[in-house]
Amino acid sequence: MKLILERRTEPSRMALALAPIAAILFTLAVCTLLVAWAGAPVGRTYALLFEGAFGSRFALSETLTRATPLMLTGLACAVAFRARFYNIGAEGQLYLGALAAVAVGGLHDGTGFDLPLPVLFAGMMLAAALAGALLLLIPALLKTRLGVDEVVTTLLGNFIVLLFVSMMLDGPMKDPMAMGWPQSVALNGDLELGKLIERTRAHTGLLWAGGLALGLWLLNRYTVFGFQMRAVGANAHASRFLGLPVNRVMLGTAMLSGALAGLAGAIEVAGRTGYVTLDMSPGYGYTGVVVAMLAGLHPLGVVVASIFVAGMLVGADSMSRAIAVPNYIADVIVATSLLAMLVATLFAQYRLRRNRA
């Protein structure tokens, strides 16, 4: 006798909706053991974690600041994964988008393009989106024309882009005022995004990310292209048999995903850093995969998941300073919640059955 997985004929919508909550509760239960093992009081640890993430105006602003790029990279992964195009290269697309934004809106030799600010701002965002989209177009063409695994090509693309960005920061786009640090020229100050909360780092890029999440949900639900993306993701062979342009849908989805990741870089530069450095992202592109999976690939769920993940990361720093619990506990929480979410989703769609044969 052995156990086999059998697909449910009609997965319960309630089970699918409750899967993220169950995953988070399971994660907190597991991590309780780690906190107790570290010798810290469990209740006080979680209270400090929550307080550090949401318990004050400053804490909330830091969480929202970190959630903004996560929201955009999470959307980039969600839209691609929905069509079964596994984009693991959001990190590279973010950096290339940031570099393109500074190339258009930066102050080169102390001066920038002599264009009206609205036109320059639109050009900056368009350049960032285009850079991310074109970067992902290459793996998409390799997948659709030659069947090359996009996981490998997008992942390796990250390293190539980071080397390219490093070359640009030490070469043509290096800021001569940076005292030798590998840093790009500064963005025109008039192009920077406004503050969402005064005297904090939270900026209006969060509204851009939220608006794009809503737009993606509408695209998925009410447009032909959204239907085609879902159909290709559900079964590409059946979609091709029914006459859907599978390759064209895949390419369009890839470019949309890359554009979102590129915009994450532009918004990070315009809202927070003001220039590009090699450490401007602590892995937002990779964490976007976790955000997308926690959200069940739902665009509006990405908003909630990104705030949750950002809150864990920000709150862990505060918790670590207060009671000396390693802040790596946040990484454990995020990773465990992803695994728990995958398992919960699996059992919402499949059931275990004993095979007596």
So what's the pLDDT on residue 255?
A: 94
Of the candidates 169, 91, 106, 100, the residue with the CA atom closest to the CA atom of residue 128: 100
DSSP string, 67-133: HHHHHHHHHHHHHHHHTT-----HHHHHHHHHHHHHHHHB-BTTB---S-HHHHHHHHHHHHHHHHH
Token pair of 216 as six digits: 């993606």
**Could you say which DSSP state residue 189 is in?**
G
- Give the pLDDT confidence of 66-117 residue by residue, as tens digits: 999 999 999 999 999 988 899 999 999 999 999 999 999 988 877 888 888 9
**20-34, 70-84, 155-169, 266-280: least confident range:** 20-34
Amino acid in position 305: A
Which residue(s) pair with 316 in the sheet? Answer: none
- Give the pLDDT confidence of 83-92 residue by residue, as tens digits: 889 999 999 9
Stretch 146-168: mean pLDDT? 93
- Give the pLDDT confidence of 173-185 residue by residue, as tens digits: 888 887 778 889 9
SS (H, E, C) 276-304: CECCCCCCHHHHHHHHHHHCCCCHHHHHH
Gap between the Cα atoms of 11 and 130, Å rounded: 38
Instruction: Check: CB of residue 98 under 8 Å from CB of residue 266.
Output: yes
Query: What residues contact residue 41 under an 8 Å CB cut-off, 6+ apart?
Result: 323
Choose between 325 and 130: higher pLDDT. 130
Q: Is 70 exceeded by the pLDDT of residue 357? A: no
DSSP string, 47-80: HHHHHHHHSSHHHHHHHHHHHHHHHHHHHHHHHH
pTM, whole model, 2 decimals? Answer: 0.89
